[in-house]
Structure 1
């Protein structure tokens, strides 16, 4: 299955962002349970993060990202890329 990465930048203040973090974490755990091998995290410096996951296609990846609580609630701007692994 192809890998995808959502690179994101926060667009709201920290208190607003933080209220959606628990739902985002629960969503990522749900993706893991469904076999998407998802991982999420943030940059050491403030201002953004990344979601890495497997999906069958770009269409499925776009649907996965659209359902992320951080996206649904307007907390981040993002770019979505298919990641081509060259060494495993």
Structure 2
């Protein structure tokens, strides 16, 4: 399964953003349970973050991102990229 990365930048105030973080984290846990190998986090300097996950296709990845509560509540602007791994453990 290909890897995808959503690189995001917050576009709302911290209070509004923080309201949707619990739902975002629950969504990521549901992706992990469904086998998408999802990982999420934020940049140490604040203001943005990243979601790394596997999906069957670009279309499936776009659908996954569209269901993210941070996207649904217009808390972030994002870019979606397919990540082509060059080196990985055996």
TM-score normalised over the length of structure 1: 1.00
CA shift for structure 1 position 86: 0.1
TM-score normalised over the length of structure 2: 0.97
- 5+ residue gaps, structure 2, are none
What is the distance in 2 between the residues matched to 1:16 and 1:47? 13
- 5+ residue gaps, structure 1, are none
Instruction: Identify the residue that residue 67 of structure 2 maps to in structure 1.
Output: 67
CA RMSD of aligned residues (A): 0.2
Provide, for residues 14-61 of structure 1, a one-character-per-residue CA deviation record: whole Å limited to 9, x for no partner.
000000000000000000000000000000001100000000000000
Instruction: Identify the residue that residue 34 of structure 1 maps to in structure 2.
Output: 34
TM alignment of 1:1-88, pairs within 5 A? 1-88=1-88
